Amino acid sequence: MVHMDATALITVFFNAEIAEDARPLCSLRWRGRYHRRHIRVRRSSLDKSNADRHRLKRLTMPRALITGVTGQDGSYLAELLLEKGYDVTGLVRRASTENFARIEHLRDRLTLVQADLLDQLSLIDALERTQPDELYNLAAMSFVPSSWQQPVLTAEFDAIGVTRLLEAIRLVNRRIRFYQASSSEMFGQVREVPQTEATPFHPRSPYGVAKVYGHFITVNYRESYGLFACSGILFNHESPRRGREFVTRKISDGVARIKHGRARALALGNLDAQRDWGFAGDYVQAMWHMLQQTEPGDYVIATGEAHSVREFAELAFARAGLDCREFVREDPALRRPAEVDHLIGNSTKARTVLGWRPAVTFPQLVDMMVDADLAALGR
């Protein structure tokens, strides 16, 4: 109990101002509704100056912790949560060089803490320090071709790393709501088209195998310990923030380089491989919706449309006024050891339960990415 000048018991609602030293006495869980807490505070601490009002307001914000905050999805999710009034903390690995380009415009609104999915104690410490209401695990070894070169490290991050996070939640605070970034790569050699939450997994890469483990360990902790843990089985989602090693960004960047005279050709792997491509900014909204439900669950997030790599390239070159047949060549060395040919998702559950629908169409996505790379190289 906090001693006061004149002790007063006040009822604090979600939008009330509360004293900072009272924060440990209550755990404010925000789910879009007002939550009542009875706490004792110092009246003198309810200062009305602008600086103190801002400080006190942060205490009533819902708190989110994002792993992988510096990546494509992490940056879009951080933007979304900040817009919704969250106090957002990003978990970053210690490194000799910083790579914060995607979140540079958010740095003054984010808190960054150091921890590592390979280090259990650092994760426990991060949860104790940040006291999040929601934890979004977006960190991963996410470039599928690299998983054949580094299969063990991929498993450490994408499989065992998920277990370490869930263990940290179990030990620190089981009320934390957890989102796991699962992947359509888990379906691999597909058993049915389109794929749903009930479609059996048959991964075709070390990355896909590790993601299956991460998916099922999330289900296991939900069922074993009653955690509010969800998995989003996200199909391919792209944006101008996508890394250049991914085929979509490789194409848009290649188009821009050819258009500006900095390259003459673009080498690609399997042009006939089909993917269900959406916009990353749309998909992070689905992540947030999952953690606002009354019951946890797993959801396929997809557009329901399949397009080939060839089609993506044709639209991208056409956007720049070029004919892809003049510049694109197929390189067998760029094919995967075990190819995944036809991924297309059925997101009926997400559309029905979450009310989620993609807003950006496939042609709009291609145009967005090409325009961004043309502008970047034209500066």
| 187 in Cβ contact with 144 (< 8 Å) | no
- Spot the catalytic one: 76, 136, 179, 207: 207
Q: Is 207 a catalytic residue?
A: yes
- Active-site option among 75, 79, 86, 185: 185
**DSSP 8-state secondary structure symbol assigned to residue 60:** T
> C-alpha angle 82/277/377, rounded to 5°?
75
Helical packing angle, 72-83 and 280-290, nearest 10°: 60
Q: Which residues fall within 8 angstroms of residue 212, CB to CB, at 6 or more apart?
A: 186, 201, 203
Given 183, 231, 239, 347, the catalytic residue = 183
Could you tell me the CA-to-CA distances from 235 to 86, 192, 254, 360 in Å, in that order? 26, 15, 23, 14
Is 185 a known active-site residue? Answer: yes
- Quote the CA–CA distance of 302 and 136 in Å, as a whole number: 19
Half-sphere exposure of 132 (CA within 13 A, CB side): 29
Question: What is the Cα–Cα distance from 290 to 31, expressed in whole angstroms?
Answer: 11
Q: What span, in angstroms and rounded, lies between the C-alpha atoms of 217 and 169?
A: 13
Residue 157 carries which DSSP code?
I
Query: Computed over its alpha carbons, how large is the radius of gyration of the chain?
Result: 23
Whether 239 is catalytic is no
Residues known to be catalytic: 183, 185, 207
